[in-house]
Amino acid sequence: MADLLKGQAAIVTGSSRGIGRAIALAFARNGADVVIHGTREEALKTLREEITALGVRCECVAGDIGLYATAEQLAETCVRAYGKIDTLVNNAGINSRHTFAEVTPEEWDAMLRTNLTSAFYTCKCVVPYMLERGSGSIVNMSSSAGKTAHPNAAVCYGVSKAGINSLTQKLAYDLAPKGIRVNAVCPGPIETDMSRQWTAEYREKVFSSIPLRRLGRDTDVANVAVFLASEMSAFVVGESINVNGGKYMN
């Protein structure tokens, strides 16, 4: 176990699986006490056991991240359990690969509520506690689809992630003078359950578009989140960092 985050108290939304799960475990391995969140209570309990086995504390909050009440519960749980909030990771989100013609008004609303409005809610609930201490780090999970059009991402997904990038910059500008850093992570193709279902032909097409010639791992993203939560990134503010093996550079 490293100690880059030793003594920190962190909230990680959408942490019952995938990238969020990897981030929660990476935070724990680096010494942080964690509040994990998701909609699947059994998955959260399993993750909690893994985290506490690493010698740190862990609390669980299950609920719809698109509801303001869930954001309030996350903040209150962290402060009640650990007395503070050092880091918020807004990871929870959903994806879609529908064409513009296929996207319904209901899907548009659900995508923006889950991917973008939820981050606004959690920041609203967490930032006051950070302001009291004059320090904190917020890490928003974005995507390369928020920076450029992508054939494998629905318009509502790209718009929600572009909104995350804008939210990141605006909050960073407002909060940096008060000691709170806000940054985002923009993953590209990451090895997930869904990517494992690709055909060999499509997988090769994706590989050939990535200069590193491999898909990313959830730990690749988690390591960047740890960096942004630690003092190693003390002078990094308002950035949306690409983690995509060079597939998209800007």
pLDDT single digits (tens) 136-147: 999 999 998 788
The side-by-side arrangement of strands in the sheet containing 240-243 is 58-62, 33-38, 9-12, 87-90, 136-141, 180-187, 240-243
- Are the C-beta atoms of 186 and 139 separated by less than 8 Å? no
Please identify which of the residues 68, 121, 157, 248 carries the catalytic annotation.
Answer: 157
pLDDT tens over the chain, length 250 residues: 579 999 999 999 999 999 999 999 999 999 999 999 999 999 999 999 999 999 999 999 999 999 999 999 999 999 999 999 999 999 999 887 888 888 899 998 999 999 999 999 999 999 999 999 999 999 999 998 788 887 777 888 889 999 999 999 999 999 999 999 999 999 988 887 667 767 788 788 888 889 998 889 999 999 999 999 999 999 999 999 999 999 889 8
| Predicted TM-score of the model (pTM) | 0.94
Considering just the CA atoms, what is the radius of gyration of the chain in Å?
17
Kind of pairing between the strands at 87-90 and 136-141: parallel
| Distance in angstroms (rounded) separating the CA atoms of residues 220 and 210 | 15
Spatial distance between the Cα atoms of 200 and 82, rounded to a whole number of angstroms: 47
Region of 134 on the Ramachandran plot (φ > 0 left; ψ -120 to 50 alpha; else beta): left
Q: Are 110 and 84 in contact (CB under 8 A)?
A: no
Structure tokens at 210: 């990535």
Q: What is the dihedral of CA 95, 99, 101, 103, to 10 degrees?
A: 0
**For residue range 123-135, what is the model confidence (pLDDT) as tens digits?**
999 999 999 999 9
Any catalytic annotation for residue 121?
no
